[in-house]
């Protein structure tokens, strides 16, 4: 565009009528159009960066990068609801493009939902504070937000509602955010919202809604891939199957809602025990699995025992005191020489699990060739 401008200014007719063109504002208009083109180019580049991300965390980082590149804010904080059916909020802060530790937390953003259902654009923090000054539900949240001293609040909104909020600090240059800058951020957020919505749709197709773990439909093809990889590389991997002991009795005594809460906390414990490459999933009901690539049966046993101990001492908050729950586990490893497909590996881990049940529960068993199945697996919950 700058080259074209130079070409335009070199035309004889332009030179001849330069004063007139300047007087009627042609050059100012060209300059304004140049600025708009640069903004749209930046917006499209930012959208491409955001849509190329593969996780919510990466989408957040790309969004932070785009805003930081444009305006040099003193900080950016991202409040995000990892599970749309839960209140829990993740708070991440960024300064100079780097993740920073924030010594406090915010438990919920739900009280902001009614406001942003009507007001969907970025808003100055002071304005938002004034608009909701009489709202008791947001008072404690604002008390925490004050510690960040944000200048701008940007809602992330999509078809599923309010996904999160971005808090943007004042610009390092001390300039205020102009209407044009607010418009740019709003347009950028429309891409962010769509990217998040696409990711949510994918996550819903491969994850269990209740626990956030992968579902059985995701595990099976992933296990098939891992068996093929192990045959190529000669490495060893393991599959762990987990079942909550006497869970039917628990549900009968304390109700299914309490049982659901226990399953959620077990899922959290599982997530904390796994590595990035592991595949934790909910197999169904109160049964879970963990695919452990590049893990021997002995190493998987250590993981299983740590998890078993953690769950046996786990405290689950509820309206009434809940008893401790325990889990039983079975492990089946496989190598290049293992003559077993996906279904057989699952069957072996399941056999080991039921051996744990038959021998007293609250224990881990490793499958081996002479592990004979019990006479009757029914009633071994």
Active site residues: 286
Residue 96: both structure tokens together = 């100079």
Q: Rounded to an integer, what distance in angstroms lies between the CA atom of residue 42 and that of residue 33?
A: 14
State the virtual CA torsion across 49, 184, 64, 108 in degrees, nearest 10. Answer: -120
H-helix or E-strand containing 154?
Answer: strand 152-158
- The candidate with the shortest Cα–Cα distance to 164, out of 173, 175, 155, is 155
What is the DSSP-derived secondary structure letter of residue 296?
-
Query: Which neighbouring-strand residues pair with 269?
Result: none
- The candidate with the shortest Cα–Cα distance to 60, out of 81, 45, 43, is 81
Residue 118: both structure tokens together = 């009507």
Alpha helices in the chain (DSSP H): 2-9, 12-16, 18-23, 26-51, 56-71, 113-118, 125-131, 136-145, 179-206, 216-233, 247-254, 256-273, 297-312, 342-358
Residue 187: both structure tokens together = 């347009």
H-helix or E-strand containing 215?
Answer: strand 214-215
Residue 361: both structure tokens together = 């529960």
What is the DSSP-derived secondary structure letter of residue 169?
-
- The candidate with the shortest Cα–Cα distance to 150, out of 197, 91, 191, 70, is 91
Q: Rounded to an integer, what distance in angstroms lies between the CA atom of residue 103 and that of residue 97?
A: 19
Longest dimension (CA), the chain: 102
- The candidate with the shortest Cα–Cα distance to 72, out of 147, 192, 169, 188, is 169
> CA 310, 326, 89, 78 torsion: positive or negative?
positive
């Amino acid at each position: 565009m700058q080259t074209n401008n130079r070409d335009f200014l070199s035309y004889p007719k332009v030179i001849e009528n330069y004063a007139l063109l300047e007087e009627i504002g042609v050059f100012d208009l060209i300059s304004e159009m140049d600025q708009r083109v640069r903004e749209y180019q930046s917006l499209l580049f930012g959208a491409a960066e955001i849509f190329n991300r593969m996780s919510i965390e990466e989408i957040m980082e790309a969004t932070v990068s785009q805003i930081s590149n444009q305006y040099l804010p003193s900080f950016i904080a991202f409040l995000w609801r990892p599970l749309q059916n839960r209140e829990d909020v993740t708070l991440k802060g960024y300064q100079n493009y780097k993740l920073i530790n924030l010594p406090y937390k915010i438990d919920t953003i739900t009280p902001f939902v009614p406001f942003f259902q009507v007001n969907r654009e970025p808003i100055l923090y002071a304005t938002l504070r004034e608009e909701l000054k009489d709202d008791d539900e947001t008072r404690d949240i604002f008390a925490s937000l004050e510690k960040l001293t944000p200048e701008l609040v940007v809602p992330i909104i999509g078809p599923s509602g309010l996904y999160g909020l971005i808090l943007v600090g004042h610009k390092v240059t001390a300039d205020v955010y102009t209407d044009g800058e607010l418009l740019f951020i709003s347009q950028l957020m429309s891409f962010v919202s769509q990217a998040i919505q696409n990711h949510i749709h994918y996550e819903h197709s491969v994850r269990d809604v209740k626990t956030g773990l992968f579902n059985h439909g995701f595990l099976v093809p992933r296990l098939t891939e891992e068996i093929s990889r192990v045959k190529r590389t000669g490495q060893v991997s393991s599959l762990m199957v987990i079942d909550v002991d006497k869970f039917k009795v628990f549900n009968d005594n304390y109700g299914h809602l309490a049982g659901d809460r226990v399953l959620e906390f077990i899922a959290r414990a599982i997530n904390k025990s796994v590595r990035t490459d592991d595949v934790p999933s909910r197999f169904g009901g109160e049964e879970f699995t963990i695919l452990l690539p590049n893990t021997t049966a002995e190493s998987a046993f250590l993981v299983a025992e740590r998890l078993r101990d953690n769950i046996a001492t786990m405290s689950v908050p509820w309206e009434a005191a809940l008893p401790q729950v325990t889990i039983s586990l079975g492990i089946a490893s496989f190598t290049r020489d293992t003559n077993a497909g996906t279904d057989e590996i699952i069957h072996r881990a399941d056999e080991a699990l039921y051996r744990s049940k038959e021998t007293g529960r609250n224990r881990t068993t490793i499958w081996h060739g002479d592990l004979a199945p019990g006479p009757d697996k029914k009633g071994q919950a």
